[in-house]
Amino acid sequence: MSTHTKCRGCGATLQIEDQKKVGYALSFELDYCQSCYKLLHYGEVHEHFHPEDLPKLSQDAVCFMVSSVLHLDTLFTYPVYRYEPNLKYIYLINQTDLLPESTNLDDMLKSMIIRAKIMNVPFFDIIMMSAKNPYDIDNLQNYINQFKEKNIYLIGVQNSGKTTIFKALTKNNEALAFSKAGLTQEAISHQLGKHLIWDMPGLYQQGYIHHFLPYKTYKKLIPSEQIKPKIYQMKKEQTLMIEGLISITLMGLDQSVVLYVSDLVKIHKTNDKRVKDLISNKDQQFDIFVDQYEEKSFKIKDQKMQITFADIGFMHIEGPNTVKVLYPKGMHLSLSEALFK
């Protein structure tokens, strides 16, 4: 008889009644729910469940707010500290290996500290790392050792790398870390020395691409290797298209822009007048389209600015200029000062 009732992959409470609900397993004797079993053995992704909101947190705890560099524009937007004001908050910027080689991480850290202060976000520390780098994991382990609080929570949006960090720290080989967003469903814990490490279900970020594209499509859009910047010399009313998903048109002066997206994503230079045709005819050079688009214009100041395209990547442009963006309806898009240089 099995002694656990939780899926070892995603933490969901196992159930045998409803195939369409989270935690469904053929039997309570199994270690994994059906969904994790298929992912683990066949790499198959079918269902998408959004985990419940964060469970109640212990007061004897340190919270590591884990974010990917791809989600930097939303780093401070989850006000967990408002309903748990007595805990220590450490912002952990993960996946730094995705940033181009030339990135100045010290500058990035300084600008994040300034942002936190401007936004009045309480923080104990801000740290940066790559879960793929064993040296960074060792450093994180030593860093955690300094805390006398018993519970160490890994909290953050889906796909930021919480489970990857959890597995590397605790040497737990059963929990599943994967490029499918929303994988971890319930908290999974593991003792590490005097600490209990908690891998929490991912927080929901409205407008990330898994909300409107199936896994087999969005997995190629999310960078998994170091991003190589691509520089484009643009003329007025020229357009860059990222697959059939996003079109970016310069409405002001001729200028160069830098795109930071996965190498697997197709980019095409065209002009404003052709965009609607390319999209409505589902042009053959692109694999990816959606049914509904919306448009937004950004006024770019006379400094290096960043447009973040959901969890796909970024564009840097030094204004002044006006940039028109056509993008999938509901997709998260933001304008900020360049968050890395």
Ligand X SMILES: Nc1nc2c(ncn2[C@@H]2O[C@H](COP(=O)(O)OP(=O)(O)OP(=O)(O)O)[C@@H](O)[C@H]2O)c(=O)[nH]1
Minimum gap (Å) between residue 180 Cβ and ligand X: 7
Asked if 179 interacts with ligand X (CB under 6 A), we say: yes
Give the residue at shortest CB distance from ligand X. 202
Using CB distances below 5 to 8 A depending on partner kind, what does residue 23 bind out of ligand X, Mg ion, none?
none
- Interface residue with ligand X among 202, 244, 313, 328 (CB under 6 A) is 202
Whether 160 and 24 have beta carbons less than 8 Å apart is answered as no
Minimum gap (Å) between residue 299 Cβ and ligand X: 33
Asked if 71 interacts with ligand X (CB under 6 A), we say: no
d(CA 103, CA 108): 8
Using CB distances below 5 to 8 A depending on partner kind, what does residue 255 bind out of Mg ion, ligand X, none?
none
Minimum gap (Å) between residue 64 Cβ and Mg ion: 13
Asked if 48 interacts with ligand X (CB under 6 A), we say: no
Task: Provide φ and ψ at 165, rounded to 5°.
Answer: -65, -45
Using CB distances below 5 to 8 A depending on partner kind, what does residue 224 bind out of ligand X, Mg ion, none?
ligand X
Whether 153 and 88 have beta carbons less than 8 Å apart is answered as no
Asked if 23 interacts with ligand X (CB under 6 A), we say: no
Asked if 170 interacts with ligand X (CB under 6 A), we say: no
- Interface residue with ligand X among 35, 163, 255, 262 (CB under 6 A) is 163
Using CB distances below 5 to 8 A depending on partner kind, what does residue 25 bind out of ligand X, Mg ion, none?
none
- Interface residue with ligand X among 22, 63, 98, 333 (CB under 6 A) is 98
Non-local (6+) Cβ contacts of 118 within 8 A are: none
Between residues 169 and 317, which has the closer beta carbon with respect to ligand X? 169
Q: ω before 320 within 30° of 0 (cis)?
A: yes
Whether 326 and 239 have beta carbons less than 8 Å apart is answered as no
HEC per residue, 212-247: CCCHHHHHHHCCCCCCCCEEEEECCCEEEEECCCEE
Whether 295 and 240 have beta carbons less than 8 Å apart is answered as no
Minimum gap (Å) between residue 289 Cβ and ligand X: 25
Q: How many CA atoms lie within 13 A of 287 on its CB side?
A: 11
Minimum gap (Å) between residue 156 Cβ and Mg ion: 9
Between residues 202 and 313, which has the closer beta carbon with respect to ligand X? 202
Only one residue has tokens 């500058």, namely 107
- Interface residue with ligand X among 183, 188, 197, 250 (CB under 6 A) is 183
Among positions 100-159, residues that touch ligand X (CB under 6 A) are: 130-132, 158-159
- Interface residue with ligand X among 160, 238, 308, 321 (CB under 6 A) is 160
Between residues 47 and 237, which has the closer beta carbon with respect to ligand X? 47
Task: Provide φ and ψ at 34, rounded to 5°.
Answer: -60, -40
Pairing of strands 267-271, 293-300: unpaired
Strands (E), the chain: 61-68, 88-94, 125-128, 151-156, 188-192, 195-199, 230-234, 238-242, 246-250, 255-260, 267-271, 293-300, 304-309, 313-318, 321-328, 333-337
Among positions 212-231, residues that touch ligand X (CB under 6 A) are: 224
Asked if 189 interacts with ligand X (CB under 6 A), we say: no
134-145 and 162-170 helices cross at what angle (nearest 10)?
80
- Interface residue with ligand X among 126, 177, 310, 325 (CB under 6 A) is 177
Site residues (vs Mg ion, CB under 5 A): 162-163, 183-184
- Site of interaction with ligand X (CB under 6 A): 94-95, 97-98, 130-132, 158-164, 177-179, 181-184, 202, 224
